Amino acid sequence: MKTIDGKSLAAKMRGEIKDGVEALAKETGVIPALAVILVGDNPASVSYVTAKEKACKEAGMASREIRMPAETSEKELLETVRSLNEDASVHGILVQLPLPEHIRENAVIDAISPEKDVDGFSPVNVGKMMIGEECFLPCTPHGIIKLIEFAGMDIAGKHAVVIGRSNIVGKPVAALLARRETNATVTLCHTGTPDIARFTREADIVVVATGRPGTLTGDMLKPGAVVIDVGVNRIADAAKPKGFRLVGDADFESCSRVASAITPVPGGVGPMTITMLLWNTLESARRFARLTGCTTAEKMV
């Protein structure tokens, strides 16, 4: 059984992204910049946002941090997003989810300019992904495809079972796996599926993204399956310095006895999500430089 090392793939790709950032700055004077908005102080969100900002800086990108109190109104948040849409020095905008309950998530996502939607959540980018047009792909699903390929599996012709139908992971990863380029046969299971094990036992690849520890256990797997565990769940643990430990949605111990490869939590999917965010932000800055015709040569004239 192989543990799929997301950290090592992420490190390799982040090195390439850093080189791309340097080359873009040298050729065009454009430094990719990501604006990250966090509303409130949900501990998991604070930790994700901090990791995203740190990764930006390590890749040589600029990161604009916008922290807003939990009481922020939807109108204020929409105004902040719109002003970032207009700001030519910002190439990517990310609003960390979930948002406080009084704010309509869809209204906020809709307000982000699709050209700066490096999360790939806006209806325009989701629609383009579904019809195979060039767009920003959502970071976690795109990172999952890269991880499966990194594990040495040829996805074409395989049966992939996705558990969970969220807009952030389940639905888009099912769509990406089924694309002609990837060519898997896909089954999407969710809370309305009476017997999930019936499907997972037939699967060559299982992607589990439910936010519930223990969703997938070894007895639900076909021997040799590849397991991608998207869950990040905090379990109280007095023995740990922070008072909790992180576990995925799959029961690692039993699954690792049956699977041929599995992503660990932490250190599997998580580092890839941030890597694909950097990738999209670099791509957005490149497009901006192309569209505005920036070159350092011109700037010197």
Active-site residue, selected from the candidate residues 2, 18, 57, 96: 96
Q: Within positions 141 to 180, which residues make up the interface with ligand GUN, using CB under 6 A?
A: 168
CA dihedral 250, 255, 256, 262 (to 10 degrees): -50
Question: How many residues sit in the footprint of ligand GUN (CB under 6 A)?
Answer: 9
299 is a catalytic site residue: no
3, 108, 170, 236 from 209: Cα distances, Å: 18, 23, 6, 21
Q: Of the listed pieces 88-96, 192-200, 215-223, 285-293, which binds ligand GUN according to CB under 6 A?
A: 88-96
Q: Within positions 101 to 130, which residues make up the interface with ligand GUN, using CB under 6 A?
A: 119
Gap between the Cα atoms of 263 and 235, Å rounded: 18
- Phi then psi for 189, rounded to 5 degrees? -100, 155
Site map (CB under 6 A) of ligand GUN, residues 176-215, x = contact: ----------------------------------------
Site map (CB under 6 A) of ligand GUN, residues 259-278, x = contact: --------------x-----
- The reply on whether position 97 binds ligand GUN by CB under 6 A is yes
The single residue among 10, 35, 129, 139 that binds ligand GUN, judged by CB under 6 A, is: 139
96 is a catalytic site residue: yes
Q: Is the dihedral of CA 24, 25, 30, 36 positive or negative?
A: positive
- The reply on whether position 66 binds ligand GUN by CB under 6 A is no
The single residue among 125, 140, 275, 284 that binds ligand GUN, judged by CB under 6 A, is: 140
119 is a catalytic site residue: yes
Give the nearer residue to ligand GUN in terms of CB position, either 80 or 96: 96
- Phi then psi for 95, rounded to 5 degrees? -105, 115
Q: Give the length of the chain.
A: 301
Longest dimension (CA), the chain: 68
Active-site residue, selected from the candidate residues 2, 18, 41, 52: 52
Give the nearer residue to ligand GUN in terms of CB position, either 138 or 218: 138
Rounded to the nearest whole angstrom, what is the least distance from the CB of residue 123 to ligand GUN in the complex?
15
CB 29 within 8 A of CB 294: yes
Give me the helices (H) in the chain, please: 6-28, 43-58, 74-86, 105-111, 123-130, 139-150, 170-178, 196-200, 252-256, 269-292, 296-300
Gap between the Cα atoms of 186 and 206, Å rounded: 10
What the block records as the tokens of 97 is 């989810």
- The reply on whether position 94 binds ligand GUN by CB under 6 A is yes
The single residue among 28, 63, 72, 96 that binds ligand GUN, judged by CB under 6 A, is: 96
Give the nearer residue to ligand GUN in terms of CB position, either 103 or 220: 103
Which are the catalytic amino acids?
Answer: 52, 96, 119
Residues that bind ligand GUN (CB under 6 A): 94-97, 119, 139-140, 168, 273
